A and B are shown apart, each in its own frame.
Chain A
Amino acid sequence: MTAPDDLQPGLEVLGVLADPVRRAAYRVVVAGDGAPVGREEVAAALGVGRTLAAFHLDKLVDAGLLDVSFARRSGRSGPGAGRPAKLYRRAVTEHAVSVPPRAYRFAAGLLAEAVERAGADAVLYDVAREHGRSAGAHGDLVEALEAQGYEPVREGDRIRLRNCPFHRLAEDFPPVVCGMNLALLQGLLEGTGWRAAIEPAGDDCCVVISKTNDG
C-alpha cells in the first residue's frame, strides 16, 4: 500500500533509474539469461568507459536495485587469473510507487485467500485459461511472453521463464497462483505447438514451456 507519506522511499529508489544511461545499464544487467554481468560488458553494450559504467552500476547497487557478487570469469583461473571480477545482477526486492495510493497487491492477496478457502481453484484456472486464450500467442511466441513480463529464454525445445509476474503473490499462495499462471499460459499457448507444465527450478517462474510431441 502506498499512502502519501510512504512515497519517499519508493521514489528515492526508482528515481535512481531516471538517468537514461543508468537505466540503460540496468537494462543490460537484467537482459540476457539472468547470469551476473561485469562492468566491461555493460560498458561495451552502452559504448561508455568502464569507469562510467561502474559508477552507474554502483549507484544502482546503493539503491538496492542490483546485487553484487564476485567471481573469476570463465576461462581464467589459477595463478595469473587476477582478482575476481565484480558482477551485477538484479535484486529480488520489489519497488512500487502509486499516485494516488492504490493497494492492488493487498486486494489480490485477499482474493487469493478467498479462492483458496472456498476451494475455488478450478474456477480461477478456467478464468485464467480463457484470458490466456484471448491474449493468444499470435506471431512470435517469445515476444508474446515478453509482452506478459515472463522474460523467456529459449533453450532448444524448451522455453525457460526467468520472471514470475506474480512473484510475491505466488510466494504467499503457491498452489493457487502458480496454478493460475499455468492455466493462463496454457490458454496463451493453445494451437501453438507448445505446452506449459509446472516444473519449479531455481528462482525462475515455476512454469516451463516445451514443444508438444504433435506440434
Chain B
Amino acid sequence: MDAGSATHHLAQLNVGRPVAPLDDPVMADFMAGLEPLNALADGTPGFVWRLTGDGEPDATGLRPFGPDIMVNMSVWTTVEALRGYVYRTAHLDSVRRRHEWFTHDGLDPYLVLWWIPAGTIPTLADAWERLDLLRRNGPGPDAFTLRQPYPAPV
C-alpha cells in the first residue's frame, strides 16, 4: 500500500456482463488470471486499494448493479500508476481479450475514473453515479477516462 502524500487519489470503476457462467470453460483463462493479476496490482507502485467481497480475495462474487453485472473498483495514487498497471504489464493481454469474456451492451462507457480525497474509499453508489455522469456528459473533471484524464483538484 502506497498512500503517498497527495491530497487526492484516483478511483476507478469498470463493469461488464460475463458471456458465460464463471465456471464455464470460456471463462477459464479469465478466472486463472485473477489471482496473479490481482497480486501484480497489489504489488504495483501507486496501488492503494481494491474492492473485494466479504472475506473474498476479489470482487468476482459481487453484483451490486444487477444480477449479471460484474464490477472492478480500485484506488491508485495517480493516473500514470493505474495506466502503467493496466497497459504496461501482463494485464494488457487480459484487456486485449476482454471481449472473449465480457460484453458491454447497454453499459458503454464501462470504465470511469474520478478523484477522491486521499485516505478515503469510494462507495459503489458514488461509482455508479460517476459512470452515469460520464455517460451523459462525456469526460470531465468529475468523471473521466484513461484516454482523456483530468488533473486532481488542488
The answer on a CB contact under 8 Å between B96 and A178 is yes
**Contact-residue size bin, chain B (C-beta under 8 Å from the other chain):** 10 to 19
Contact B147 A200 (CB under 8 A): no
Q: How many A-B residue pairs have CB under 8 A?
A: 36
Cβ–Cβ contact A175 & B147, under 8 A: no
Q: Choose, from B43-51, B70-78, B87-95, the stretch at the interface.
A: B87-95
B63 at the interface (CB under 8 A from A): no
Closest chain A residue to B103 by CB distance? A119
Interface residues of A in 158-176 (CB under 8 A from B): 172-175
Kindly state the separation between the CA atoms of A208 and B58 in the bound complex, as whole angstroms.
30
Most A CB contacts (10 A, CB to CB) among B89, B92, B99 go to B92
The answer, among A117, A179, A199, for a CB contact under 8 Å with B96, is A179
Contact A199 B99 (CB under 8 A): no
Interface residues of B in 84-131 (CB under 8 A from A): 86-90, 92-93, 95-96, 98-99, 103-104, 108
Contact residues, A177-215 vs B (CB, 8 A): 178-179, 182, 197-200, 206
**Do B99 and A174 touch across chains, with their CB atoms under 8 A apart?**
no
The answer to whether the Cβ of A121 comes within 8 Å of any Cβ in the partner chain is: yes
CB atoms of A200 and B92 under 8 A apart: yes
A198 contact set on B, CB distance < 8 A: 90, 92-93, 96
A sample of 20 cross-chain residue pairs with beta-carbon separation below 8 angstroms, ordered by A number, consists of A119-B103, A119-B104, A121-B96, A121-B99, A172-B147, A173-B147, A174-B86, A174-B87, A174-B92, A174-B95, A175-B92, A178-B92, A179-B96, A197-B93, A198-B92, A199-B90, A200-B88, A200-B90, A200-B92, A206-B88
Chain A contact residues, CB within 8 Å of chain B: 117, 119, 121-122, 172-175, 178-179, 182, 197-200, 206
> Which B residues lie at the A interface, using CB under 8 A?
86-90, 92-93, 95-96, 98-99, 103-104, 108, 147
